[in-house]
Amino acid sequence: MAEGSLGERQWRLSRLAVAVLGLWLAVDLGLRLMPVERLGVSPNTAAQRLAGRHSPFRSSFSVYAPEGTPGENAVRGNLPSTEGRRPLRFSTDALGYRLNPELPSGAAPDVLFIGGDSFIYGANLSDEETLPAVFTRVSGLLSYNAGRPNAAPMMLYDLDWLLKHFPRVPQTAVLVHLEHHRYNATDRPRSTPGVWDELRLARRALSEWWTASPLSNATRRLFRHFADGKLLPNSYLQQVSAYSLPDRRPILFRDYETHPARVPQSGDQILATADNILAWTRALQGRGMEVYVLLLPTRFTVYGPWLVDGEARARVIRAAESFNQLAAELEGRGIRTINGLGVFQETAHEDLLSGDLPFYREDNHWNSRGVERIARLLADSVCQSAAVAARAGYRKLSQPCR
Amino acid sequence: MLFNSAVFLFLFLPITYVVFWAVRTKNSRYIWLTLTGYVFYGYWNPAFCLLMLFSTLVSYLAGLGFLRWDGTRQRRLLLVIPVAADLALLAWFKYADFAIGTWNWASGFMGRAPLEPLNILLPIGISFYTFHTITYIVDAYRGTIRPTRNFWEFSCYVSLFSQLVAGPIVRFSELQADLEGIDHKDRRTYLDLGWSFFIIGMAQKVLLADTIASVIDPALEDVTTLSSASAWMCMLGYSYQLYFDFAGYSNMAVGLGYMFGMYIPQNFHSPYKALNPSDFWRRWHISLSRVLRDYLYIPLGGSKGSTWLTYRNLMITMLLGGLWHGAAWTFVIWGAYHGVLLSLYRRFGGAWDRLPELFQRAGMFLLVVIGWVFFRAPTVHDAVTLLRAMFIPEPGTWPIGAAVLAVMLLMAGTIAHLGPNTFEMRHQWKPAAAAGLAALLVLSLIRIYGADNSPFLYFQF
């Protein structure tokens, strides 16, 4: 080496630096070993930590947030929360799936809810407000919540593992497809995990553990506090699109919500998505379940036509048309399809005028009113099936399938 | 992977360091540094590791060829083929869409049909590692280095993580002695020096550059709303941001080099203290300036021809230097601007040098700041708008966080214009100063944990 010199004092500096890094890491790891949900980590994130191999969440986990949780979009955009929050309980069952309190422990479920990411497992909803729970109350059919986070989608081998733990295979499956999910022609459900799946699983486990860091959360909050748009620019704001409702309250959207309108789907993409849904439908049917496909739009496709003008509005309308085209394609292939778009579109304008939406304004998910609407729509469709109705009648439920 | 990320600081660096010093032989250290270099690079996009491997193999084989064949024709082939391969990689990944965009712009006037852009993803650091391999081949051709027969030594040189994605552009000749002696045992010798460089570099990047960026980036998104004072504040801010971002990275690279027993040369020598354009380019991105001088300017004839030929050579060198930074016309204009400055200095340097030193420094800094407008602006139109705002007094808005920016400008300006650079420091810290550095490290960690990861500006080049 050409330059440099050694001194006793310098050695101390390097030891000091390593000690600082070591101490920092020790504090970080130490905090991670504590119940992170009590140290500012959101219930979802805390529940995803240390999930089982086939489960989206830790088993038998429960956390109660008396003040609810802030809207994800408001947090992302570093905006003050203006939306009222309700107390929230996030619990999981022994298998590591979101608990449906209406389903007695150990009972055989009639209906399995699968897909639909956070809409189904119920982000920002309390256990009793999730779709499977509300559907159980509305229809009388015992429902199991097999919803999983987007980062940990259900695979067939996960499904088989889950089914093995039920007393019997549910008679019905509700497969939920979210509008922004797009598939390639090669995307098919896999029944055995490959090497990449194993690596992805390991990465997921590591990433979920790493994400749930109280220290990181605390420092992030500190920076967000300074980036208040006064002392420092709020650079987080670019992570959301904000629109003002007639009552002057904001409605915030994330990129993925506006994506279907910004990047229209081609006919081939719609067909590829239909192929994927069909493959899942066949897989569920092959396991002895009747399948209903529930299509859920993004909030922007529902409300966009009243929020934007001109070409942007035309693009939202085209996105809605593509969504309806997918529904038609699925029905054309003999799949019983329930299109959630219409239910929300019917009242979209009035919802916006009143500010009383079936979705959160500051979060990308639906609220209990949205869940209720879809639960009723779903119950109407599912209960038309004679077999299901008979089964519900046989069980003499207090609110039997209509 | 970023130096200023938790995964680097708490996982990559400790593992790389411990294993490096645990294994003893040259080859095992070469192999280990090669592997870690590929992990470091592949963390961003594993597929692009193949590109680096390709570039490495081609240059290594060319090096073997130089050892084997002496004939002029063979040696020329050994020069041209691998350099062409490297330049082809660079041309495809970096300049293809630029060429298509330019063609489409021109075709609008000619009534020709536009071409579809290829939307090629630019592999991070391609400009740097292709320059590493090109300089190796050219030096081998010139006989200024003896190519290595050891593949692992060469691959270790190309993929050395400390200088891989944003330089400095270290030539093989500059690193060869340290690579040959990589099996030395005393890890303590330069460890403290390494940490000193690393912490200072990280603080420059994370605390100074990123804080300035948090104010000016939103303000520069819409340059049409800026007042003249705001435009100046933003451009001064950008000048310091760019300097502390890149110099910070270079210092971290130097520090990491020391930790692994390798001397990585100085890349910045207080450039904002420069007295004139020539002086500036002797101080700013020194490794690139030397490459441009030794592999482009001098082969073109340098200053040995007529005055006009010298100007031509300066302009070609700086235009290509600008284009190296980015595939956009703004970078070409920035390069041309500096080519003109260098030419003017060559013509009128005598008069300039007679001015008071303070005036020369301030004047040179002002000229550099004006040049950065083209470097920063996404389009030529934006650059012109920004220049207009700077030079034609206009009312407009202040950036949010102007007070913070003013404080940061004061701090950054004092360090950049009056303070010593990291190579001028003795790095023999008394306990209080060492504690101060440790405090800087803690502050940097808070920022790394609390803010979104901020890539280094020079990654894009």
The model's pLDDT over B137-173, given as tens digits with 9 standing for 90+, comes to: 999 999 999 999 999 999 999 999 998 877 799 999 9
Establish if B199 touches chain A: CB-CB under 8 angstroms. yes
- Pairwise CB contact (< 8 Å): B190 & A6: yes
Classify burial at B350, counting beta carbons within 10 Å of its beta carbon; exposed 0-12, middle 13-18, buried 19 or more: exposed
Helix, strand or coil for residue A143?
strand
Which chain A residues are closer than 8 Å to B202 by Cβ? none
pLDDT attached to residue B369: 97
- Length of chain B, please? 461
Which chain B residues are closer than 8 Å to A216 by Cβ? 449-450
CA distance A138 to A144: 14
- Report the chain A residue with the minimal C-alpha distance to residue B401: A232
Helix axes B329-353, B380-391, angle to 10 degrees: 40
Helix, strand or coil for residue B277?
helix
Q: Quick check: A83 pLDDT over 90?
A: no
Q: Virtual CA dihedral for B395, B399, B402, B408, nearest 10 degrees?
A: -120
Q: What is the mean pLDDT of residues B180-202?
A: 86
**Mean pLDDT highest for which of A35-39, B17-21, B185-189, B222-226?**
B17-21
Q: Quick check: B101 pLDDT over 90?
A: no
Residue (of B97, B125, B194, B133) closest to B457 by Cα position = B125
A295: enclosing H helix or E strand? strand A290-296
Helix axes B357-376, B380-391, angle to 10 degrees: 140
pLDDT confidence band for A281 (50 / 70 / 90): very high
pLDDT attached to residue A194: 85
Query: What secondary structure letter does DSSP report for B181?
Result: T
* Residue B301, C-beta contacts closer than 8 angstroms, at least 6 positions apart: B309, B310, B313
Establish if A233 touches chain B: CB-CB under 8 angstroms. yes
Q: Number of Cβ pairs closer than 8 Å across A and B? A: 115
- Report the chain A residue with the minimal C-alpha distance to residue B450: A220
Question: How many angstroms separate the CA of residue B305 from the nearest CA in chain A?
Answer: 36
Q: Quick check: A393 pLDDT over 70?
A: no
Between CA B193 and CA B198, with CA B196 as vertex, the angle to 5 degrees is 110
pLDDT confidence band for B279 (50 / 70 / 90): very high
pLDDT attached to residue B84: 94
CA distance B107 to A23: 61
Give per-residue pLDDT as tens, B322-343: 999 988 999 999 999 999 999 9
Strand partners, B167: none
Establish if B183 touches chain A: CB-CB under 8 angstroms. no
CA distance B370 to B420: 24
pLDDT attached to residue B225: 87
CA distances (Å), A73 to each of A83, A124, B8, B23, in order?
Answer: 11, 12, 29, 49
E strand segments, A68-213:
88-91, 111-115, 143-146, 172-178
pLDDT attached to residue A200: 86
- Pairwise CB contact (< 8 Å): B188 & A6: yes
- Pairwise CB contact (< 8 Å): B218 & A233: yes
A296: enclosing H helix or E strand? strand A290-296
Q: What is the mean pLDDT of residues B360-384?
A: 96
Q: Quick check: B458 pLDDT over 80?
A: no
Helix, strand or coil for residue B154?
helix
Question: How many angstroms separate the CA of residue A199 from the nearest CA in chain B?
Answer: 14
**A 24-43 residues with CB below 8 A of B?**
24-25
For chain A, the 3-state helix, strand and coil shares in percent, each to the nearest 5, are 50, 10, 40
CA distance B315 to B338: 8
Q: Positive or negative CA dihedral for B223, B225, B231, B237?
A: negative
Q: Quick check: B445 pLDDT over 90?
A: yes
- Pairwise CB contact (< 8 Å): B196 & A219: no
Which chain A residues are closer than 8 Å to B193 by Cβ? 4-5, 10
> A65: left (phi > 0), else alpha (psi -120 to 50), else beta?
beta
What mean pLDDT value characterizes chain A?
Answer: 88
The DSSP code sequence of A299-368 is HHHHHHHHH--HHHHHHHHHHHHHHHHHHHHHHHTT-EEEEHHHHHHHTHHHHHHHT--SB-SSSSSB-H
- Pairwise CB contact (< 8 Å): A233 & B400: yes
Q: What is the mean pLDDT of residues B295-322?
A: 93
Establish if B154 touches chain A: CB-CB under 8 angstroms. no
The CA radius of gyration of chain A, in Å to the nearest whole number, is 23
Lowest mean pLDDT among A40-49, A53-62, B315-324, B402-411: A40-49
Q: What is the mean pLDDT of residues B80-99?
A: 90
- Pairwise CB contact (< 8 Å): B258 & A215: no
Peptide bond into B265 cis (omega under 30): no
Q: Quick check: A5 pLDDT over 50?
A: no
pLDDT attached to residue A10: 46
Tell me which amino acid residue B421 is: N
CB B441 within 8 A of CB B204: no
Establish if A200 touches chain B: CB-CB under 8 angstroms. no
- Pairwise CB contact (< 8 Å): B428 & A12: no
Closest by Cβ to B438, choosing from A1, A4, A20: A20
Query: Which one from B132, B285, B325, B338 is the annotated catalytic residue?
Result: B325
The DSSP code sequence of B278-325 is HHHHHHSSHHHHHHHIIIIITTTTTTSS-HHHHHHHHHHHHHHHHHHH
- Report the chain A residue with the minimal C-alpha distance to residue B180: A1
A275: enclosing H helix or E strand? helix A267-286
pLDDT attached to residue B327: 87
Question: How many angstroms separate the CA of residue B448 from the nearest CA in chain A?
Answer: 9
Q: What is the mean pLDDT of residues B114-125?
A: 82
Q: What is the mean pLDDT of residues A35-60?
A: 90
Q: What is the mean pLDDT of residues A213-235?
A: 88
Q: Are strands A172-178 and A143-146 parallel, antiparallel or unpaired?
A: unpaired
pLDDT attached to residue B355: 95
Classify burial at A347, counting beta carbons within 10 Å of its beta carbon; exposed 0-12, middle 13-18, buried 19 or more: middle
Tell me which amino acid residue A396 is: K
Establish if A199 touches chain B: CB-CB under 8 angstroms. no
Q: Quick check: A14 pLDDT over 50?
A: yes
pLDDT > 70: percent of chain A:
93
- Length of chain A, please? 402
Lowest mean pLDDT among A26-40, A291-305, B359-373: A26-40
Tokens coding A109: 């479920």
Which chain B residues are closer than 8 Å to A220 by Cβ? 449-451
Q: Positive or negative CA dihedral for B27, B29, B35, B37?
A: negative
CB B161 within 8 A of CB B36: yes
pLDDT attached to residue B357: 95
**How many alpha carbons lie under 13 Å from residue A152 in its C-beta half-sphere?**
32
CA distance B314 to A182: 52
Establish if B217 touches chain A: CB-CB under 8 angstroms. yes
Give per-residue pLDDT as tens, A364-378: 999 999 999 999 999
- Pairwise CB contact (< 8 Å): A1 & B442: no
- Pairwise CB contact (< 8 Å): A230 & B400: yes
pLDDT > 90: percent of chain A:
60
Establish if B262 touches chain A: CB-CB under 8 angstroms. yes
pLDDT confidence band for A401 (50 / 70 / 90): low
**B 425-454 residues with CB below 8 A of A?**
427-431, 434-435, 437-438, 441-442, 445-447, 449-451
Q: Is B417 a catalytic residue?
A: no
The dihedrals phi and psi of A91, each to the nearest 5 degrees, come to -125, 155
pLDDT > 90: percent of chain B:
70
Give per-residue pLDDT as tens, A137-160: 999 999 999 999 988 889 999 999
- Pairwise CB contact (< 8 Å): A20 & B442: yes
Residue B461 or B407, more confident: B407
- Pairwise CB contact (< 8 Å): B193 & A4: yes
- Pairwise CB contact (< 8 Å): A14 & B191: yes
Q: What is the mean pLDDT of residues B227-256?
A: 95
The dihedrals phi and psi of B194, each to the nearest 5 degrees, come to -60, -50
CA distance A77 to A72: 9
The dihedrals phi and psi of A180, each to the nearest 5 degrees, come to -80, -5
- Pairwise CB contact (< 8 Å): A7 & B262: no
Which chain B residues are closer than 8 Å to A17 by Cβ? 195, 198-199, 437-438, 441
To which residue do tokens 């403290």 refer? Answer: B192
CB B319 within 8 A of CB B332: yes
Residue A14 or B254, more confident: B254
Q: What is the mean pLDDT of residues B177-185?
A: 86
Q: How many CB atoms lie within 10 A of CB B24?
A: 9
pLDDT attached to residue B10: 93
Which chain B residues are closer than 8 Å to A229 by Cβ? 400
Q: Are strands A62-65 and A88-91 parallel, antiparallel or unpaired?
A: antiparallel
Q: Quick check: A9 pLDDT over 50?
A: no
Establish if A3 touches chain B: CB-CB under 8 angstroms. yes
Strand partners, B226: B397
Give per-residue pLDDT as tens, B24-46: 899 999 999 999 999 999 988 88
Which chain A residues are closer than 8 Å to B430 by Cβ? 9
Q: How many CB atoms lie within 10 A of CB B424?
A: 10
Residue A238 or B12, more confident: B12
Q: Positive or negative CA dihedral for B319, B321, B327, B330?
A: negative
- Pairwise CB contact (< 8 Å): B193 & A1: no
Q: Quick check: B247 pLDDT over 70?
A: yes
Which of A3, A14, A211, A234 best tests the B interface by mutation, with the highest count of B CBs <10 A? A14
CA distance A223 to A226: 5
Give per-residue pLDDT as tens, A94-134: 999 999 999 998 899 999 999 999 999 999 999 999 999 99
Establish if B125 touches chain A: CB-CB under 8 angstroms. no
CA distance B149 to A177: 58
- Pairwise CB contact (< 8 Å): A10 & B427: yes
pLDDT attached to residue A114: 96
Helix axes B151-159, B126-142, angle to 10 degrees: 140
Q: What is the mean pLDDT of residues B56-68?
A: 94
Question: How many angstroms separate the CA of residue A364 from the nearest CA in chain B?
Answer: 21
Establish if B212 touches chain A: CB-CB under 8 angstroms. no
Which chain B residues are closer than 8 Å to A18 by Cβ? 195
Question: How many angstroms separate the CA of residue A396 from the nearest CA in chain B?
Answer: 55
CB A260 within 8 A of CB A370: no
To which residue do tokens 């209406």 refer? Answer: A102
- Pairwise CB contact (< 8 Å): A12 & B215: no
What mean pLDDT value characterizes chain B?
Answer: 91
- Report the chain B residue with the minimal C-alpha distance to residue A215: B449
Which chain A residues are closer than 8 Å to B445 by Cβ? 20-21, 24
Question: How many angstroms separate the CA of residue B403 from the nearest CA in chain A?
Answer: 8
